[in-house]
Amino acid sequence: MTELLIRNGTVFDPLNRIRGEKMDLAVRDGRIAESVSSRAKIIDASGMVVMPGGVDIHSHIAGSKVNSGRILRPEDHEKDVEERTSITRAGVGYSIPSTFTTGYRYARMGYTTVFEPATPPLKTRHTHEELDQIPIIDKACFPLFGNNWFVMEYLKEGKLEECAAYIAWMLNATKGYAIKIVDPGGVEAWGWGRYLKRLDEEVPHFAITPREILRGLCKINKLLGMPHAIHVHTNNLGNPGNYLTTIETMDCVADLASSGKPVIHVTHVQFCGFTGNSWLNVGSGAPEIAEYVNKHDHVTVDPGQVVFGDTTTMTADGPFQFLLHKLSGNKWVNVDVEGETGAGIVPFRYRRSNYVNAVQWGIGLELMLLVKDPWKIYLTTDHPNAGPFTSYPKVMTWLMSKDARARVLARINKNARRRLDLGGIEREYTLEEIAIVTRAGTSKSLGLKKKGHLGVGADADIAVYSIDVASIDPSRDYEDVRKALAKAAYTIKNGEIVVKDGEVVATPTGRTYWVDPKVSIDLMQETTASLSAKFEEYYTVRMANYPVEENYLESPARIEAVAEV
């Protein structure tokens, strides 16, 4: 069938320990192959960098809250309109692009796989409908479990196995990929007008603490043999002094780790890495958090790097969004989803001149630079919370070039500049490290065996950037590097050229990955029997109508997990 030969590229493939070697890559039938026939189409990649396609671990691209954000912000779309071409459809941006535009823009940057990190289980049908409309890229979504009534009830009663079976049923029903926990117990408590600020405070009416929820779900994650660790948005997010909560959250599952495999991924740490005790003396907790991450192997993180400018914040953390709405005076919407979870959306502008925003910008970068092992940290902007995903190339240049950082640092709020350690950090990422934090590391963390590397048999998702390593020094020529990263010379998805010279040339349909943990039949039968009674009691939908059928998805890709129960 289709064959490609990518010739003479400078290949960065960290998982296979290829560090910028000049070599040819053969592609056959959507996979990387040993060799191809002489009929293969040849791509001349001499003077270009070749990497696996980008894998984004955390980016809010689809689902009910993303769509509420679109409805809330007509002014966001008005300023960024993309005309249709003979291949692509028309669409709008900027911080919450329409579905088609999301796919095109990711592909243009050489990204081929994106994970939507928060979907309310009940509304996941909508999430899948939107994911199906996002062309080119592969995707998956993480259902929310941190404030789920049934989960809290099971855990309180110590029914770990039943809870595991329930989650297995839910992942199957929602076609989800991993266990997402947002502000464990906190969203529920806020429904009763309270804030949970510590891991050991009780959730009203459930007599369970965030610590117990985290530990319970972490154990279940292991019982179910999930490919990814629990994906955690911490309690107390967005409050000064919360870096302690973050470290405590990481530490509370430290003893559950075995064989050095990470058991917890703490996401957008920038939002939960504040020191100080008020907005006036907020500082960066990045050094302390980085020190913890450097010393422990059970945790991985991503920064949620702030990019100055206008964006839309959206999270399942309703309490935090309410706080932000009060602080900024901007409009907001709030959604509550039938005892499963909630969400809030607030438009926000990060300003260089604002002390807190400037510190936030610094925290993300400090964290990226102070965590020594790039396999433990992944690049995100928590799109669109801290900035749209289209600013990834800019963030990458900040990592690769001290000059690029210094240029921004010189223009931020001067008190923030004085407060941050960022100016004194010399480290500059190499292209290999960039490849780790944007593709190899994320694929490894997500347990995607065929992504994030270019070994024989891997999916032929490849990004080719016109960066000539012989003449371009990313540390000095960061502007050229940024442009090259923003517009891939070629993006290849499943062996098909989808982007050429930064323009979309084909729009195939990407797969939707989902995890199907297999628990014992007896346990599953027992659990679903008791579940249906709960459904009758709590839900507006019957249990039988709740699951999203596999054939409802345009291109499902099931990953079976072998559970221990």
Partner 1 sequence: MREIVLTVKRALNVPVECLEVSPNSFSGKSLDQIRGIEIWEGNRRCRLNDIFQVEEENSSASDELTVGIVGEASRIRKIGYRMTEGSIAIEGDAGMYLGEQMSAGSIIVNGDAGAWLGSRMKGGAIEVKGNAGNFVGSSYRGSTKGMKRGTIIVHGNAGTEVGCWMRNGTIRIKGSCGTFPGMHMNNGTIYIEKDCSGRAGAQMTGGRVIIGGYVPAVLPSFNIEEVRERVKVGEEKIPGPFYVFTGDLNENGNGKLFINVAKNPHLKWCEEYLE
Q: Which is closer to partner 1, CB of 256 or CB of 333?
A: 333
Tell me the window of 71-79, 193-201, 350-358, 517-525 that interacts with partner 1 (CB under 8 A). 71-79
Looking at beta carbons only, is 347 or 387 nearer to partner 1? 347
Kindly tell me which residue out of 72, 247, 367, 431 binds partner 1, with binding defined by CB under 8 A.
72
Q: Which of these segments, 70-78, 111-119, 124-132, 522-530, binds partner 1 (CB under 8 A)? A: 70-78
| Residue 72 vs 167, nearer CB to partner 1 | 72
Measured from the CB of residue 84, what is the shortest distance to partner 1 in angstroms? 11
Helix (H) or strand (E) segment spanning residue 55: strand 54-56
- 74: contact with partner 1 by CB under 8 A: yes
Q: Decide whether 76 or 428 has the Cβ nearer to partner 1.
A: 76
Q: Which of 390, 413, 398, 394 is nearest to 367 (CA)?
A: 398
- Total residues binding partner 1 (CB under 8 A): 7
**CB 537, min distance to partner 1, A:** 39
Sequence-distant (≥ 6) Cβ neighbours of residue 464 within 8 angstroms: 6, 9, 43, 45, 48, 49, 50, 51, 110, 488, 489, 490, 491, 492
CB atoms within 10 A of CB 75: 10
As given in the structure block, the two tokens for residue 47 are 């003077």
Binding to partner 1 by residue 193, rule CB under 8 A? no
Q: How far is the CB of 78 from partner 1 (least distance, A)?
A: 6
Closest distance between partner 1 and the C-beta of residue 135, in Å?
Answer: 23
> Locate tokens 């659990």: which residue?
527
C-beta neighbour count of 262 within 10 angstroms:
19
Q: Which stretch binds partner 1 (CB under 8 A): 75-83, 105-113, 261-269, 501-509?
A: 75-83
x/- mask, partner 1, residues 475-514, rule CB under 8 A, reads ----------------------------------------
Query: Which range of residues in 55-63, 67-75, 282-290, 552-560 is near partner 1 by CB under 8 A?
Result: 67-75
281/354 with CB nearer partner 1: 354
**Residue among 72 and 463 whose Cβ is closer to partner 1:** 72
Q: How far is the CB of 352 from partner 1 (least distance, A)?
A: 19
Binding residue (CB under 8 A) for partner 1 from 21, 29, 75, 373: 75
**DSSP output for 310-329:** EEEEEES-HHHHHHHHHHH-
- Whose Cβ is closer to partner 1: residue 67's or residue 527's? 67
* Cβ distance to partner 1 smaller for residue 21 or 78: 78
| Closest approach of partner 1 to the CB of residue 155, in Å | 41
Q: Interacting stretch for partner 1, rule CB under 8 A, among 18-26, 60-68, 72-80, 536-544? A: 72-80
Bridge partners, 547 (sequence order): none
76 lies in the binding site for partner 1 (CB under 8 A)? yes
Instruction: Tell me whether residue 330 or residue 555 sits nearer to partner 1 (CB atom).
Output: 330
Going from the C-alpha of 11 to that of each of 20, 57, 383, the distances in angstroms are 5, 22, 28
Binding mask 278-317 for partner 1 (x = CB under 8 A): ----------------------------------------
Contact with partner 1 (CB under 8 A) among 21, 29, 44, 78: 78
φ and ψ at 558, to 5 degrees?
A: -85, 135
Q: Least distance to partner 1 from the beta carbon of 309, Å? A: 15
Of the candidates 410, 408, 371, the one whose C-alpha atom is nearest the C-alpha of residue 387 is 408
In whole angstroms, the minimum distance from the beta carbon of 313 to partner 1 comes to 15
Contact yes or no for 415/362 (Cβ under 8 A): no
User: How many other CB atoms are found less than 10 A from the CB of residue 41?
Assistant: 12
Min dist CB 74 to partner 1, Å, is 4
Part of the chain binding partner 1 (CB under 8 A), chosen from 74-82, 261-269, 473-481, 525-533: 74-82
Which residues make Cβ contacts (< 8 Å) with residue 414, sequence separation at least 6?
Answer: none
Q: Which is nearer to partner 1, 73 or 376 (CB)?
A: 73
Tokens of 500: 């050429």
**Backbone angle region of 419, left / alpha / beta, with phi > 0 → left and psi within -120 to 50 → alpha:** alpha
Q: Which C-beta is closer to partner 1: that of 96 or that of 137?
A: 96
Phi, psi of 369 (to 5 degrees): -90, -25
| Residues of span 314-333 touching partner 1 by CB under 8 A | 330
Q: How far apart are CA 112 and CA 130, in angstroms?
A: 17
Answer for which of 73, 222, 383, 419 binds partner 1 (CB under 8 A) is 73
By beta-carbon proximity to partner 1, the closer residue of 75 and 564 is 75
For residue 326, the number of C-alpha atoms closer than 13 Å in the C-beta half-sphere is: 7
Using CA atoms, how far apart are residues 547 and 514, in angstroms rounded to an integer?
Answer: 13
Query: Nearer to partner 1 by C-beta: 84 or 407?
Result: 84
Q: 545 exposed, middle or buried (CB, 10 Å; 0-12, 13-18, 19+)?
A: exposed
Q: Regarding beta strands 512-518 and 556-562, do their DSSP bridges make them parallel or antiparallel, or are they unpaired?
A: parallel
* Residue 236 backbone class (left: φ over 0; alpha: ψ -120 to 50; beta: rest): left
d(CA 450, CA 473): 31
Q: Which is nearer to partner 1, 52 or 347 (CB)?
A: 347
Distance CA 63, CA 119 (A): 6
Q: How far is the CB of 75 from partner 1 (least distance, A)?
A: 4
Q: Which residues bind partner 1 (CB under 8 A)?
A: 72-76, 78, 330
